[in-house]
């Protein structure tokens, strides 16, 4: 009998799929969850909850407020590579290891470069620098209980 396993984020709180448990983006899309300086608007991913690092920040010198912020879900490929070797722990990968593609993507609005796996089925032959991609959710690994997911990039068709 086929059963549907529960899906859980491999790392809690780093992205949302648009459901209200981790932060509703309103558009139903996958978004990375970071923080943003409430004074100068500088975005941070992964989350920065200590102090704004922008030397030109106009906020209070004793530390600006950093508020939760969902980053843009689209960007353009800045660089990409094939990963043909199993990464060392603490990275968790499927067993047996399946080669995958990674891409560094410059986010549309924030102009930040974020690294991520590329959705299965897309290889380095399908990618080029400058190509527009969007975030999706994909399975990183699974056990008897659940599928563990991460954000992945996929080309916009």
| Residue ranges binding Zn ion (CB under 5 A) | 37, 39-40, 42, 52, 54, 57, 59, 64
Q: How far is the CB of 33 from Zn ion (least distance, A)?
A: 18
* Nearest CB to Zn ion, comparing residues 61 and 157: 61
* Nearest CB to Zn ion, comparing residues 37 and 140: 37
Separation CA 94–CA 155 (nearest Å): 23
Q: Are strands 15-16 and 31-37 parallel, antiparallel or unpaired?
A: antiparallel
**For residue 82, which of 118, 33, 32 has the smallest C-alpha distance?**
118
Q: How far is the CB of 38 from Zn ion (least distance, A)?
A: 8
* Nearest CB to Zn ion, comparing residues 50 and 129: 50
Q: How far is the CB of 49 from Zn ion (least distance, A)?
A: 13
Print burial letters for 65-103: b (CB count within 10 Å at least 16), e (below 16). ebeebbbbbbbebeebeeeeeeeeeeeebeeeeeebbbb
- In the structure encoding, which two tokens stand for residue 134, read together? 């969007």
Q: How far is the CB of 50 from Zn ion (least distance, A)?
A: 12
* Nearest CB to Zn ion, comparing residues 57 and 112: 57
């Amino acid at each position: 009998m086929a059963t549907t396993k529960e899906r859980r984020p491999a790392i809690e709180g780093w992205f949302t799929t648009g459901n209200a448990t981790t932060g509703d983006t309103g558009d139903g899309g996958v978004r990375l969850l970071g923080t943003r300086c409430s004074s100068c608007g500088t975005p941070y991913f992964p989350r920065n909850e200590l102090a704004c690092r922008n030397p030109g920040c106009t906020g209070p010198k004793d530390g600006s407020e950093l508020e939760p912020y969902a980053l843009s879900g689209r960007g353009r490929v800045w660089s990409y590579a094939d990963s043909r070797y199993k990464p060392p722990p603490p990275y968790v990968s499927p067993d047996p290891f399946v080669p995958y593609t990674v891409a560094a993507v410059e986010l549309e609005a924030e102009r930040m470069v974020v690294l991520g796996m590329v959705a299965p089925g897309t290889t380095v032959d399908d990618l080029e620098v400058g190509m527009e991609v969007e975030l999706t959710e994909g399975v990183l690994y699974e056990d008897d209980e659940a599928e563990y997911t991460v954000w992945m990039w996929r080309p916009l068709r």
